[in-house]
Amino acid sequence: MPVLARTLEAAGLSTLLITPMPYWAERVGTPRTLAVEYPFGHALGLPGEPAMQQQILAEAFEALEKIKDPGTVMHSPQQWPGSVEQAIQLWQPLEPSPIITALTPKFREMLRKRRKT
C-alpha cells in the first residue's frame, strides 16, 4: 500500500497513508504517513463508533496539512481501548492464510537451525 501511495503521489495527487505499520511505510518511503496503533483492518477504530472514527480522520486531515517534508511519519496519540491479546485475536483470520500455513513449518525449522549455530 505504501507503494500505491507513491504511485498516486507521482501522478499528481497528494496522499496520506493511515497505517498501523510505520515500520513498512518508512522502508518503502511513503510521502505522508499517519501511524495509528490500532490492530490491522481497524485503521479508523471499532465498528459502530463514529466518534472514534472521526477522531482518526481529523488527525489525518491535520497530518495532510502539516507534513511538509516527503517521508514524514506522524504518530497518533490514540490508544486501543481493549487488551493487546484481544486485539490480536480480533484482526487475525479464523484460519491462518495459505502462505502462513505453507511457510510456517519451514520457517520454524530455519529458526531452530539458526539458534543451534
82 touches other proteins (CB under 8 A): no
For residue 46, the tally of other CB atoms under 10 A from its CB is: 14
* Distance set, CA 41 to CA 19, 92, 100 (Å): 10, 9, 18
81 touches other proteins (CB under 8 A): no
Q: Which of 98, 112, 113, 115 binds other proteins (CB under 8 A)?
A: 98
Q: Which of 9, 81, 106, 117 binds other proteins (CB under 8 A)?
A: 9
Rounded to whole angstroms, how far apart are CA atoms 31 and 27?
12
Q: Which residues, 15 to 54, sit near other proteins by CB under 8 A? A: 15-24, 26-31, 35-37, 39-48, 50, 53-54
59 touches other proteins (CB under 8 A): no
Q: Which of 59, 75, 81, 105 binds other proteins (CB under 8 A)?
A: 75
- Beta strand 32-35 with 72-75 is parallel
The identity of residue 24, as a single letter, is: W
